[in-house]
């Protein structure tokens, strides 16, 4: 049975993470992964080309080598390995899996703060600090999303946890309470 993308991501991601820890270059790799992720997401054609099964392997290897010169040798080796094993189509999932391992180790979480009006950086900082203190995290990295239809308040979504303090939800609750017998 073919491996699912999740399974591939988990195996390669765990391997890369373990390798980085063994080689003592975790921080370095983490920075490189972040760069790589933005580059790959901005250039989907590049990714498509490298994961295309029709193109010649050596040619793809040449293209890859010409791009990754500035990365560390560890990262270069890893990317070549992915190409060799024809797993380049899963590279984004793999890197994200690596990131989740990293976050777990460093007690970092990523989340979304949904508000009706745009929040200032200072406000975001306060919210994430409060959340991080409450749930024992080192750091919470929040992105702000503006949704006028929630009217007011704040919805905080971190992983599976959703803290809903929006006016819209409160009105909805009042509605159900008033209409319930």
Stretch 156-175: interaction string toward another protein, x if CB under 8 A: -x-xxxxxxx---xx--xx-
In 3-state terms, what secondary structure has residue 164?
Answer: strand
Question: Which among 135, 84, 81, 127 is positioned nearest to 108, based on CA atoms?
Answer: 135
**109-148 footprint of another protein as x/- string (CB under 8 A):** ----------------------------------------
Q: Is 178 an interacting residue with respect to another protein (CB under 8 A)? A: yes
Binding of residue 104 to another protein (CB under 8 A): no
Q: At what angle do helices 57-67 and 44-51 cross, to 10 degrees?
A: 140
The residues, ordered by sequence, that sit 6+ positions from 36 with a Cβ below 8 Å of its Cβ are 71, 75, 95
Q: Does 152 bind another protein (CB under 8 A)?
A: no
Site string for another protein, 1-40 (x = CB under 8 A): ---x-x----------------------------------
Q: Smaller CB distance to another protein: residue 4 or 129? A: 4
User: φ and ψ at 63, to 5 degrees?
Assistant: -60, -45
As a whole number of angstroms, the distance between CA 147 and CA 174 comes to 21
CB of 167 to another protein, least distance (A): 11
Contact present, 132 and 140 (Cβ < 8 Å): yes
Binding site residues, another protein, CB under 8 A: 4, 6, 157, 159-165, 169-170, 173-174, 177-178, 181
């Amino acid at each position: 049975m073919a491996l699912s993308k999740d399974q591939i991501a988990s195996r390669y991601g765990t391997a890369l993470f373990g390798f980085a820890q063994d080689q003592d270059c975790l921080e370095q790799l983490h920075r490189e992964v972040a760069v790589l992720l933005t580059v790959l997401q901005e250039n989907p054609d590049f990714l498509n080309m490298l994961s295309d099964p029709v193109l010649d392997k050596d040619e793809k290897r040449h293209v890859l080598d010409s791009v990754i010169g500035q990365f560390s040798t560890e990262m270069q080796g890893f990317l070549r390995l992915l190409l060799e094993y024809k797993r380049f189509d899963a590279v984004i999932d793999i890197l994200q899996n690596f990131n989740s391992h990293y976050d777990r180790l460093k007690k970092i979480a990523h989340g979304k703060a949904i508000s009706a009006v745009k929040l200032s950086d200072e406000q975001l900082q306060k919210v994430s600090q409060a959340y991080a203190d409450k749930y024992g995290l080192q750091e919470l990295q929040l992105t702000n999303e503006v949704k006028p239809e929630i009217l007011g308040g704040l919805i905080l979504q971190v992983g599976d946890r959703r803290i809903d303090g929006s006016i819209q939800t409160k009105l909805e609750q009042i509605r159900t309470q008033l209409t319930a017998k």
